[in-house]
Structure formats: C-alpha cells, structure tokens
Amino acid sequence: MKQFQTSDALKRLPEQFFAKLAGKVNRYVEAGYDIINLGQGNPDQPTPAHIIESLQQAAENPTYHKYPPFRGQPFLKQAGADFYKREFGVELDPEKEVAVLFGGKAGLVEVSQCLLNKSDVALVPDPGYPDYWSGVAMAEADMQMMPLLEENDFLPDYSAIPESALAKAKLMFLNYPNNPTAAVATKSFFDETVRFADVNDICVVHDFAYGAIGFDGERPQSFLETEGAKDVGIEIYTLSKTYNMAGWRVGFAVGNPSVVESINLLQDHFYVSLFSAVQEAAAEALLGSQKCVEDLRQTYESRRNVLIQGLHDIGWDVTSPAGSFFAWLKVPESFTSEGFADYLLENVQIVVAPGNGFGEYGEGYVRVGLLTSEEKLREAVERIKSLHLF
C-alpha cells in the first residue's frame, strides 16, 4: 500500500493533547474500573424535547431534502438576529452580519484562514481552547500567547504584548466565560479591548460558547454589547452548550460584516450549509421557550455549589467558577498538572484535564467539568478526601 505524504499545512497542525488522555482513560474503562470522568467538555443532558420534535417534523418536509441555500436558510439567520436582540439588545443585519456555522469550532478554525497570511500574528489566550491554534497553524501564521493569570482575574494584559508581535498582529481570540479558567469578562475589559483592537487594527474574535452559563446572578456579557465592538470584531455563538446540542453542529459568526462575508465566502467553497431540518430545529431552539436554558444554568450552578463546597470542606482551597461548566483547580504544590491528573486516575479513578494541555500558563491547574450528577460529584469529593492530600 502506498503511504501518501500529507501536505505541509497538515503537518503543521498541533498534536491533539486530549486524544492522548482519552487513550489512557479507555485503558482503565476496558479494565473494568469505575471511572468518574470529569475531564471532558461534552454536555451530559439531552437536547430539550421541543427542539427534537421540531427536527422530527422538519425532516418530513421534502423541500428540505434538496440542497439548502449556500449561506444558510434566511429564517435561521433571522432567528440568530432576533436571539441577539432579545438576549443582549444587539442589532444585527441577518444577511450581512450573521454567518451560519457547522458549530463554533468550524468558525474558529475558518476565521484564521480568512484573515491571516503567512507570518502574520494571532494573539491567543494561554491557557485556552486548543482549536484556536489549529487554524493559525494551517494559515502558516504565528501565535503570540497572552498569559491569563489568576492575579489578573484571567484577563489578558495588553500592555505586556511585545511591540514586535503587536506590529504583525491581525487577529485576537478571546473567550469569556472562559474555558478552561471559568473566568468571566467585565464591561471595562471589553471597552479596553475595543480601544486596543481599534488602535492596533486587530480583528477580535470573541468565542462566546458559554454565553448562557453565568452564576450568582451575573449574566455573561456579549462582546457585541460593547460600544464599537462590531467595528473591530465578531462573536462566535454556538447552540452546543446553551441547548445541549453539541452533536447537531450549529453555530453562528455574528458582527463585523466584512469578516462575516469572508467566512461565508470560504464556506461557499467547502459546504452547502446545514441540513435544512436541523436549521429549522435550531431556529426553534433560539426562538422557542427559553425555560430549558434557565433550568440548565441552574443545574450547573447547583453542581458547582456541591463540588466547590465539598472541596472546601476537605481543605482544598479552590476558586469558585463564575461561569462556563468548568472549575479550574490549583493542584497541590508537590504536583505538576499531568502528575496530579495521573495520580487521581491511578489512585481513585477520577479523570480531570491537566491544565498544561491548554498552554504553558495552564501548568499548575487541572480542569474539572460539571458534567455529571451531584451524586457523582459528591462521590468524587469523597474519593479525593480518601487521599489525605489537604
């Protein structure tokens, strides 16, 4: 069998750190261990019934069995605009300022293809969601990491970015509520971001994947609520987390019309948009009853309370997440992130994601998902207690 060489673009792709972790975990599962897996980011609840029913009915519509319009159904783009108006008071032109995506991940990788040339720089949060790196690598551009430090509430310090990198920077990724640190952004930070991006001609890509999940009465802010945001950037919204629709692959890029147009142009060459029945169900999710969203948010908040209270009770001094469905926990001093993750897996069969997988500044932390029942989270706390580490 011939072994064909991949393109240089594929060779540049970063290693999938978490695929390695999944392999390790599978060996424990196959050996019959009772694993508590807190390492992943896959919502554990089903999609709400009214959205599934909408898909079932729409699947019978014969016009939907044909190719959908290239740039998505107008009714879905209108639903995206109506959603932004209702939720955030943001006005969007559905045809020029909304692009339909195959999930947020696709848009986050595509935007680098759309805006970056070889040797341009993308400003990337560290720790951060690893898919930002993939698009930048494919475009043969360079990354300037922006450390997210606890002492800065996990917000980047723009004044620390070297001048040489700033001169070449074309794109910046941000993500609040943040994966993995669970931090949220403030209005003043977004105001500063708009000024910084404007002065330096940088396109901001705000990944708002956890936009529906804020705790303690604090509602996460859309970047587009910030004055001038549309002039300097876009926001990527996904239905994956808000409506437990991770498997459906529906998202949007919204905001700056020139960036939306370039994403649409790229997608014209890759795809013919989503199955129209999925688009109809997605519109139902955005426009129908939002009670499911509030119920889900409360579920995560209760789980967070159980986990954080439990860890405090056993003497682990951890910070309570402000949003997202993750907790970002500092590991005991004698451990590295990976060492601690291995220790938990080997001794009490708990899976957590080592922080260094999200970048250099993730070292010293592990990420824990709130994606299992309160009962399982209590059991996880009991198992950690039995290690007498704190």
Ligand X SMILES: Cc1ncc(COP(=O)(O)O)c(C=O)c1O
**Of the candidates 141, 169, 209, 308, which one interacts with ligand X according to CB under 6 A?**
209
Binding segment (CB under 6 A) for ligand X, from list 102-110, 292-300, 331-339, 353-361: 102-110
Residue 370 touches ligand X, criterion: CB under 6 A: no
Nearer residue to ligand X within complex by CB, 121 or 239: 239
- The rounded radius of gyration (Å) of the Cα atoms in the chain is 21
Residue 182: φ, ψ to 5°: 65, 15
Residue 112 touches ligand X, criterion: CB under 6 A: no
Question: Residue 112: which of 57, 55, 152, 170 has the closest Cα?
Answer: 170
**Of the candidates 165, 246, 318, 387, which one interacts with ligand X according to CB under 6 A?**
246
- Considering only residues 164 to 203 of the shown chain, the ones binding ligand X according to CB under 6 A are 175, 179
Nearer residue to ligand X within complex by CB, 105 or 310: 105
Contact by Cβ (8 Å): 222, 186:
no
**Of the candidates 72, 104, 127, 354, which one interacts with ligand X according to CB under 6 A?**
104
Binding segment (CB under 6 A) for ligand X, from list 98-106, 263-271, 305-313, 359-367: 98-106
- Considering only residues 257 to 316 of the shown chain, the ones binding ligand X according to CB under 6 A are none
Instruction: Report DSSP letters for 249-291, one per residue.
Output: --EEEEE-HHHHHHHHHHHHHH---S-HHHHHHHHHHHHS--H
In this structure, the strands spanning 169-175 and 233-238 are: unpaired
> Which tokens go with 279?
């688009």
Question: Residue 361: which of 317, 334, 328, 390 has the closest Cα?
Answer: 328
Q: How far is CA 48 from the centre of its chain?
A: 21
Cα–Cα separations (whole angstroms), residue 1 to 4, 11, 57, 135: 9, 21, 46, 31
Nearer residue to ligand X within complex by CB, 246 or 389: 246
**Of the candidates 207, 280, 284, 301, which one interacts with ligand X according to CB under 6 A?**
207
Binding segment (CB under 6 A) for ligand X, from list 5-13, 18-26, 103-111, 252-260: 103-111
Q: How far is the CB of 42 from ligand X (least distance, A)?
A: 8
Nearer residue to ligand X within complex by CB, 127 or 310: 127
Residue 214 touches ligand X, criterion: CB under 6 A: no
Strand order in the sheet with 169-175: 98-101, 251-255, 233-238, 203-207, 169-175, 121-126, 142-147
Taking the C-alpha atoms of residue 172 and residue 359, their distance in angstroms, rounded to an integer, is: 16
**Of the candidates 71, 77, 105, 297, which one interacts with ligand X according to CB under 6 A?**
105
Taking the C-alpha atoms of residue 121 and residue 115, their distance in angstroms, rounded to an integer, is: 10
> Which tokens go with 250?
């529906």
Q: How far is the CB of 103 from ligand X (least distance, A)?
A: 3
Nearer residue to ligand X within complex by CB, 20 or 195: 20
Taking the C-alpha atoms of residue 224 and residue 90, their distance in angstroms, rounded to an integer, is: 7
Binding segment (CB under 6 A) for ligand X, from list 83-91, 99-107, 224-232, 345-353: 99-107
Site string for ligand X, 15-34 (x = CB under 6 A): --------------------
Peptide bond into 180 cis (omega under 30): yes
Instruction: Report DSSP letters for 286-338, one per residue.
Output: HHS--HHHHHHHHHHHHHHHHHHHHHHHTT---PPPSBSSEEEEEPPTT--HH
**Of the candidates 94, 135, 211, 251, which one interacts with ligand X according to CB under 6 A?**
251
Q: How far is the CB of 199 from ligand X (least distance, A)?
A: 26
**Of the candidates 37, 112, 240, 264, which one interacts with ligand X according to CB under 6 A?**
240
Nearer residue to ligand X within complex by CB, 246 or 272: 246
Question: Residue 293: which of 31, 17, 48, 111 has the closest Cα?
Answer: 48
Residue 238 touches ligand X, criterion: CB under 6 A: yes
Nearer residue to ligand X within complex by CB, 102 or 189: 102
Residues that bind ligand X (CB under 6 A): 41, 103-105, 129, 175, 179, 207, 209, 238, 240, 246, 251
